[in-house]
Structure 1
Amino acid sequence: MVKVVAKHFVKKDKIQEMLSVVKELVAITIKQQGCINYEMYQDEKDKSILTMIEEWNTREDLTNHLNSNEFKSLAPQLEKFMDKPVEINIYKKVI
């Protein structure tokens, strides 16, 4: 199992636009092979921090997602909403 935590630092006036694109990305991604979970969370203290938490069966499933036409067309759209680059961590279960 692979988990991804992608922390987005969104411009305060672009949060709703960001969520609109992410909603489309989530709807597509949850149907992809190997996707267990794909959800976005908003920080309670700082509403401009949106974090995508993903769960995939295998690293190959994650790679296929990242190489999908849908991801390649939607993900770049998110950059225009950002204050700074996304922080991405990929984890594998050890215990």
Structure 2
Amino acid sequence: MATTRRDFLKFSTGTAVLAALVPASSTLLSFTQKTKKMSTNSLNVVAIAETSADKAEELKSVCLGLIEPTRKEKGCISYDLYQDTTNPGKFTFIENWQSKEHLDVHLKSPHLVAAGAAFGKIVTKEMVVMMLNKLT
């Protein structure tokens, strides 16, 4: 499911889901919770947020602010952030949730709602959003 920047603002209130494809040229800024087991029944979400070079640090700060509180949420298996190595204004989240219900709770969390409002003022390109089921 792809979405527009406007739809991303809906995401911040929990009515859409954030995801996207990870660029091959990304640098990992990640942590995976090894105490939680991944399964093929889990829900994978991937998302790209992009801004201009002059706002890259601002967007990076907002993205990094989501990491710690999200990783503490019930049902979060992993929540990783990548920065593109050729475009420093492009950031990609890769998320893994135990269920759609856990993701739905996350989408309504105060930290994500606040980030969604900030993203709306920072991102310069449409957000690409997908939910993925693991096949292999």
Give the TM-score, by structure 2 length: 0.65
- State the percentage of identical aligned residues: 32
C-alpha distance in 1 between matches for 2:89 and 2:62: 15
Residues paired across the two proteins, number: 95
Shift of 1:34: 0.6
Give the alignment's Cα RMSD to 1 decimal. Answer: 1.3
Pick the structure with more helix per residue: 1
| 1:28 to partner: Cα distance | 0.8
Partner AA of 1:55 in structure 2 = N
- Who is 2:134 aligned against? 93
Give the counterpart of 1:67 among 108, 133, 136.
108
Q: CA deviation at 1:94?
A: 3.3
| 1:42-82 CA distance string (max 9 Å, x none) | 11222222111111111111111001222112222112111
Aligned twin of 1:47: 88
Residue in structure 2 matching 1:2, options 40, 43, 46: 43
Gaps of 5+ in 2: 1-41
Distance 2:115 2:89 in 1: 20
Partners of 1:55 and 1:83 lie apart in 2 by: 26
> What TM-score does the superposition give when structure 1 sets the normalisation length?
0.90
1:24 to 51, 65, 84: 65
